[in-house]
Amino acid sequence: MVKKYVVKRSGKFWPSEEMKRIAWVSDDKIYKEAEKNLIKFWEKLAKEGITWEQEWNETYYEKLPYFEWFKGGKLNFCVNAVDRHLDKGSKTALIWIPEPLNEKPIKITYAELYEKVNRFANVLKGLGVKKHDVVSIYLPLIPEALIAMLACTRIGAIHSVVFSAFSAEALKTRILDGNAKILITADGYYRRGKKEYLIKKAKKAVKGTDIKKIIVVNRLGKKVFGRKYLDFKKELGKAETYYKPEIMNSEDIMFILYTSGTTGRPKGVIHDIGGYAVQAYWTSKWNFNLHDDDVMWCTADIGWITGHTYAFYGPLLNGATTLIYEGAPDFPDPSRWWKIIKENNVSVFYTAPTAIRMFMRFGDKYVSKHKLDSLKILGTVGEPIDKGAWMWYFNKIGKGRCPVIDTWWQTETGGTLINALPGVGPFVPTISGRSFPGTKHIIVDDKGKLSQEGKTGNLVQVSPFAPGMLHGIYKNHKKYAETYWKRFKTKYDTSDGAYLNKGLIRITGRTDDVMKVAGHRLTTAELENALNNHRLVNESAIVPTPHKIKGQVPVAFVVLKGRKKGSERLIKKLKKHIDKVIGPTARPEKIYFVQDLPKTRSGKIMRRILKSIINNEKPEGLTTLVNPEIVKDIKGLISEEGK
Ligand code: PRX
């Protein structure tokens, strides 16, 4: 009989008896237990969840803006994700679904993963990679990405993964920031039936960097020549099968992941080993109720934190099976995901609201024909989810049987922080829920005073800060201190707005100039910088505007040099330019050529006014403008287009 994991009571969804029966956490005593002593709580979790070579001597140390967990503790991350599951070595660790239908899925057991990771660790060592060196990884969602990342953790190197859809320039900036000597990439991958040649971008990116060797996964059969290039498979085959794991300090850097901040340059968010491992382990276990027989599918790419923590590390730390896939959700048709769930008995499915909204648009027919009865838990992440999308996800994918866990978190937090636990609930559309046991978030006004229930304020985290939190911005103390600690001093500033609804947290979205475009994080500044660097552009302003599927999209207002008039051709060129500088995810939805931008007397561009115009609202604060007449022109331009 198909099991039901939720019940409806007084307008809300709650875990069913069956869910409570199978849940690791099945009542809310856990929150109270944690609150008694948050540090002791994490100490207990760290001991139970993670294998340490040496225990720490100080559980939590804080000297803001920095803090450390498990100081003095020693461990190896790879041992925790792989070696300790060798007693069930024949169990599948990873399922990979290639895009071409004539290629078979690949399953890798824990024992096989162990061998490959050990071998690759030796490859890296052979190339001179040492503890604390940064290794750049520019790979699509293929098994080699997992092997490469884990091998880095085995030898104590720091991995820096760059999203494969990012441009050569974006990769180059990140290689330079980490001063990497080794790049791991692929000749390419399949997407929507086409071959995408990643290697072209990689070759361009390494020019002018210190990259000495490029290890290339041969996915498309393209021959890559040159002394710098090594073949992933060949090197793996030649390497020794054992690498003794390096014993690392808990506070050593495990990885850097770049994310958009308020100014143009991406920030290298640093995560350490011990704290991250503890949070990845427990959030995966409790949010997704991972057991031995679970197959988890997190659809995020490894270029993002969600991919790091919930496509790879969290499930593996728990010894579960994780699934990844190559390609696009709607190719060859919009049934692809539902077929993958069915054919692989996926029990935990974790995706973004953008994907859900896209499937809604395709219509129910693609999903209705699939029973999807292996599913137990559905998760969502990355942007606020509207009620319509939540209910569709719940009814059409979960068939009204599975809880929807709306997880709020950030690249900076390493793991989830606010959501309902599947065995505790309640599951309320648009509301994320409570702080994960052992963590504490409050909502404050701009002065840092506690906001009242129902009033939107700033979401902040209070001490002791969660173990998975960032440990700085790579080589940029100033940015770290300013971005997260300047406004509220002793509280971590999330830059998200939120309010309390009957004690549960509802996220309203970013309060800074960060946009979430199809779940991807972008800033107005990085897009403007990219546009302004085009030889024909004098200046530009980017504003986000709501979009039915992607949540938000950027719209650009561009002043050309010499105030020249633009053309359709130039719009295409500028879009291509953005693809080249950042990547297609950042491509503006629309570009308007204007004679001037609304500015204050001090020359500040008033994006707020542009936003009102584009959203058909009455712009306010026109009196502060030095050029109010331009507002009328821009309005005219937009309404002209709407005709
Ligand atoms: O604005 C919040 C939004 O995504 C931001 C973090 O983006 P990123 O670092 O790319 O990490 C995304 C994956 C963890 C947050 O500041 N966000 C994330 N999850 C949610 C969300 N907004 C609303 N609801 C969520 N569940």
470-512 confidence digits (pLDDT tens): 999 999 999 999 999 999 999 999 999 999 999 999 999 999 8
The whole-angstrom separation of Cα 319 and Cα 51 is 13
Q: What is the mean pLDDT of residues 566-573?
A: 95
Nearest C-alpha neighbor of 191 from the set 126, 98, 263: 98
Ligand 1 atom nearest the C-alpha of 418 is 26
| Structural tokens at position 334 | 């919009």
Is the predicted pLDDT of residue 383 greater than 60, yes or no?
yes
406 touches ligand 1 (CB under 6 Å): yes
382 touches ligand 1 (CB under 6 Å): yes
Count Cβ atoms within 10 A of the Cβ of residue 624 and give its class: 0-12 exposed, 13-18 middle, 19 or more buried.
Answer: middle
How far away, in angstroms, is 438 Cα from ligand 1 center?
A: 20
> 376 near 5, Cβ under 8 Å?
yes
Query: How far is the CA of 344 from the CAs of 317, 321, 502, in angstroms?
Result: 20, 10, 39
Q: What is the mean pLDDT of residues 540-560?
A: 94
Substitution candidate for ligand 1 out of 309, 459, 496 with most atoms within 8 A of CB: 496
Q: How confident is the model at residue 601 (pLDDT cuts 50, 70, 90)?
A: confident
> 350 near 337, Cβ under 8 Å?
no
SS3 content of the chain, % helix, strand, coil (to 5): 35, 25, 40
Q: How confident is the model at residue 190 (pLDDT cuts 50, 70, 90)?
A: very high
- For 393-418, what is each residue's pLDDT tens digit? 999 999 999 999 999 999 999 999 99
- For 357-374, what is each residue's pLDDT tens digit? 999 999 999 999 999 999
Q: How confident is the model at residue 261 (pLDDT cuts 50, 70, 90)?
A: low
496 touches ligand 1 (CB under 6 Å): yes
H helix or E strand, kind and range, residue 229: strand 229-231
Length of the chain, in residues: 643
If you take atom 5 of ligand 1, which residue's CA is the nearest one? 410
Distance of CA 52 to the CA centre of its chain: 27
Is the predicted pLDDT of residue 641 greater than 80, yes or no?
no
419 touches ligand 1 (CB under 6 Å): no
Nearest C-alpha neighbor of 608 from the set 527, 544, 539: 544
H helix or E strand, kind and range, residue 637: helix 629-642
How far away, in angstroms, is 471 Cα from ligand 1 center?
A: 19
| Structural tokens at position 58 | 């100080």
| Structural tokens at position 410 | 């950030």
407 touches ligand 1 (CB under 6 Å): yes
Largest distance between two CA atoms of the chain: 73
How far away, in angstroms, is 389 Cα from ligand 1 center?
A: 16
Q: How confident is the model at residue 465 (pLDDT cuts 50, 70, 90)?
A: very high
If you take atom 21 of ligand 1, which residue's CA is the nearest one? 383
Angle between helices 143-155 and 110-126 (to 10 degrees): 60
H helix or E strand, kind and range, residue 591: strand 590-593
Substitution candidate for ligand 1 out of 276, 351, 381 with most atoms within 8 A of CB: 381
Nearest C-alpha neighbor of 174 from the set 481, 584, 585, 583: 583
Query: How far is the CA of 154 from the CAs of 70, 315, 426, 585, in angstroms?
Result: 19, 18, 40, 32
Nearest C-alpha neighbor of 403 from the set 373, 381, 424, 382: 424
In degrees, rounded to 5, the angle at the alpha carbon of residue 124 between the alpha carbons of residues 123 and 129 is 150
Is the predicted pLDDT of residue 344 greater than 90, yes or no?
yes
If you take atom 18 of ligand 1, which residue's CA is the nearest one? 382
260 touches ligand 1 (CB under 6 Å): no
Query: How far is the CA of 142 from the CAs of 93, 108, 253, 344, in angstroms?
Result: 14, 12, 24, 17
Supply the pLDDT for residue 622: 85
Is the predicted pLDDT of residue 550 greater than 90, yes or no?
yes
Is the predicted pLDDT of residue 94 greater than 70, yes or no?
yes
- For 538-547, what is each residue's pLDDT tens digit? 999 999 999 9
Q: Across-strand partners of 541? A: 557
The whole-angstrom separation of Cα 550 and Cα 448 is 32
Is the predicted pLDDT of residue 97 greater than 80, yes or no?
yes
Strands (E), 45-120: 58-63, 66-71, 74-75, 92-97, 106-109
Nearest C-alpha neighbor of 410 from the set 513, 340, 514: 514
Nearest C-alpha neighbor of 634 from the set 607, 615, 605, 614: 614
How far away, in angstroms, is 254 Cα from ligand 1 center?
A: 22
| Structural tokens at position 275 | 């704290």
Nearest C-alpha neighbor of 586 from the set 552, 618, 613, 557: 552
- For 140-187, what is each residue's pLDDT tens digit? 999 999 999 999 999 999 999 999 999 999 999 999 999 999 999 999
Looking only at the bridges linking them, the beta strands covering 189-191 and 253-259 are unpaired
Q: What are phi and psi of 60, to 5 degrees?
A: -145, 130
The whole-angstrom separation of Cα 238 and Cα 256 is 29
The whole-angstrom separation of Cα 91 and Cα 392 is 34
Question: At a CB cut-off of 8 Å and minimum separation 6, what does 601 contact?
Answer: 624, 626
416 touches ligand 1 (CB under 6 Å): no
Nearest C-alpha neighbor of 153 from the set 53, 265, 76, 238: 76
What is the four-CA torsion angle of 309, 360, 545, 592, rounded to 10 degrees? 110
Substitution candidate for ligand 1 out of 161, 271, 409, 460 with most atoms within 8 A of CB: 409
If you take atom 25 of ligand 1, which residue's CA is the nearest one? 408
> 258 near 475, Cβ under 8 Å?
no
506 touches ligand 1 (CB under 6 Å): no
516 touches ligand 1 (CB under 6 Å): yes
Q: What is the mean pLDDT of residues 247-254?
A: 98
Nearest C-alpha neighbor of 379 from the set 327, 433, 302, 458: 433
